[in-house]
A and B are shown apart, each in its own frame.
Chain A
């Protein structure tokens, strides 16, 4: 079974609109972390935001926020006021427990921002 599911293979959004990228996860470990990364066409992976399973508040980093709904096992990324430079692949990822510290990635969502 997939641990990280991103159901939107591609999205088109008008510039300046807010966009929500969906991510659901599957784990029985009470301690875990959730990540979002951005991958532009150059291929580099850019860390955007992190949410720990015990964090009480939703994580925010500038225009990025993580809508963490623990009971639904959902960790959606919200980008406010989208810009043309936001066009990229976006990956949701999860770290389970603390022993191995390995991260599992979803298949990604390709976001296109339209002028």
Chain B
């Protein structure tokens, strides 16, 4: 089955710790994205990558870091510098270049930091 996997579904961390969220896709998509969603809110773009070894900051990149060493993988690290890390994190992928018409989303990771 082709799709996007995010693990784990729920993640708990103590304040001050870095944590890495996994995102893997087997859709052969070049572009990948990370979004953050807070309760009752829309999605805000954290980072996105159009191609391997390249990525750009989105609207709320502060306190986050990413890497794109492989086409299939786009892990997101939530650092201790992120002031309010508790949120629902969604990863997506797409096939750009022909006018993006759809993003495919993973099931999300709910991160709780106490």
Contacts and interface: CB of A to CB of B under 8 A. Distances in A.
B91 to A, nearest CB: 10
Contact of A35 (B90, B97, B102, B108): B102
A39 to B, nearest CB: 9
Interface in B55-114: 56, 58, 88, 90, 92, 94, 96-97, 99-105, 107-108, 110
Interface in A33-68: 33, 35, 37, 42-45, 47, 50, 52
Contact of B41 (A31, A44, A108): A108
B11 interface: no
B33 A43 contact: no
Contact of B100 (A42, A43, A101): A101
A50 B58 contact: no
Interface residues of B, number: 29
Contacts of B45: 102-104
Contact of A107 (B42, B56, B92): B42
Interface string A93-115: 10100101111111110000000
Given A107-B41, A108-B41, A45 B99 contact: no
B19 to A, nearest CB: 18
Given A101-B94, A102-B33, A47 B103 contact: yes
A103 B35 CA distance: 10
A91 B90 CA distance: 14
B103 A44 contact: no
Interface of A: 4, 31, 33, 35, 37, 42-45, 47, 50, 52, 91, 93, 95, 98, 100-108
Interface of B: 31, 33, 35, 40-45, 48, 50, 56, 58, 88, 90, 92, 94, 96-97, 99-105, 107-108, 110
